[in-house]
Amino acid sequence: MRLSVLDQSPIPEGSTGSQALRNTIDLAQAADRLGYHRYWVAEHHGGGMLAGPAPEVLIGPIASATERIRVGSGGVMLPHYSPFKVAESFSLLSGLFPGRIDLGIGRAAGTDPVTTHVLQRDRRQAPPDDFFDQLAELIAYLEDRFPDDHPLKRLTALPGLPEAPELWLLGSSPQSAIWAAGLGLPYAFADFINSDGGAGIAKLYRERFTDSERLLAPRTSVAVWAIAADTDEQAERLAYPSRMAMAMLRRGRLIAVPPVEKAERFLEAEGLLDRPPGRRLVLGTPGRVRAELEAVAADYGAEEVIVVSITFDHEARRRSYELIAGAFGLAAKPVAA
């Protein structure tokens, strides 16, 4: 089973977005040394909690700072963009970093209605729900699938050729699974967003999968919240900041990631400390985290687990990835003398 990382570039309270982005580079370098398979960065807009609105900008610096790990988007929210512009950007990255670039595509509209509105070039009306058409156009650019007499045929001469990104469809719903299956694309399911029924959606993807030139058999990855520490109690406490931040997000407030002690007081005052968090959190010692991640992968029929972690302290987050890598026996890169 492959292990990968999804980094949302969290901003700790009292810190800055600039520091959060430097933390992302540091964590990517650690993941590269530790033997993780890929490192994806997310797209989030309009708040002080996460510092990653532009994966296409962040991927280049990460790939430059690392050596062997695949780097990509988890994901690019295609409804905001021209498919041609996305194809050009990721072709360029692929040309610079051959065999290392992933293009994960999602269809989330935005953090909230206001953010969704201001992200649109034409604000006179709501954007059309034409994601599938956008995706088909994107694939046509990347794979030179326009007929010879098509007016857009010449635009398939992308800047990074002959290199190309590995295309993934991201999702958390049955519709995304159906599209990925019908197009013969690998599918990354966001269990950290929707763990209810996720295994069934992954099964739907496998059942409906149609082989294609790009993929002969279904390939599934699952993104899971996980934090490892030396003890179960430490891991539980490290999760308090993300639990508070998510509770505030559900109330319409985006906050910086709070310190553990502040988050603990909030959760206790709200009666949330001893309640189930409402989503899957894999927390505990390295052995326990490994066992639970393997169980999730088995439920999904997934060949790969993408670990998502938010903590207040960057060192604790990096240490968590180190412990998980050790538990799975990843092939770490030897440290130069």
- The span from the CA of 194 to the CA of 172, in Å, is 6
Q: How much of the chain, in percent, has pLDDT values that exceed 90?
A: 84
Q: Give the mean pLDDT of the chain.
A: 94
User: What confidence score (pLDDT) does residue 117 get?
Assistant: 83
Kind of pairing between the strands at 187-190 and 304-308: unpaired
Query: Could you give the angle at which helices 131-143 and 83-96 cross, rounded to 10 degrees?
Result: 40
Q: Is the pLDDT of residue 44 over 60?
A: yes
Instruction: Give residue 213's pLDDT band: very low, low, confident or very high (50, 70, 90).
Output: confident
**pLDDT value at position 64?**
98
Distance (Å, whole) CA 5 – CA 28: 8
Sequential DSSP letters for 280-315: --EEESHHHHHHHHHHHHHHHT-SEEEEE---SSHH
In the three-class reduction of DSSP (H, G, I as helix; E, B as strand; rest coil), residue 203 is classed as helix
CA 327 to centroid of chain Cα atoms? 22
Among the listed ranges 9-13, 43-47, 232-236, 293-297, which one has the minimum average pLDDT value? 43-47
Q: What is the pLDDT of residues 23-38, one digit of tens each?
A: 999 999 999 999 999 9
Q: How far is CA 322 from the centre of its chain?
A: 19
How far the first Cα of the chain sits from its last, in Å, is: 30
Mean pLDDT value across residues 323-329: 97
Beta bridge partners of 221: 188, 304
What's the pTM? 0.94
Q: What pLDDT score was predicted for residue 336?
A: 53
Which whole number is the average pLDDT over 126-154? 93
pLDDT of 104 above 70 = yes
Q: Over 80: is that where the pLDDT of 47 sits? A: no
In this predicted structure, the answer to whether residue 283 has a pLDDT above a threshold of 60 is yes
At 48 the pLDDT is 85
Which region among 86-90, 94-98, 214-218 has the lowest average model confidence (pLDDT)? 214-218
Beta strands at 70-77 and 38-41: parallel, antiparallel or unpaired: parallel
State the average pLDDT over residues 228-235.
98
What are the structural domains of the chain? 2-328 (3.20.20.30)
Mean pLDDT of 122-150: 91
Q: What average pLDDT does the segment 269-298 reach?
A: 93
Residue 335: its pLDDT value, please? 55
Q: What is the pLDDT of residue 337?
A: 43
Find the mean pLDDT for residues 302-322: 98
Q: What is the pLDDT of residue 122?
A: 80
Mean pLDDT, residues 74-97 taken together: 96
Residue 305 clears pLDDT 80, i.e. is over it: yes
Contact 39, 31 (CB under 8 A): yes
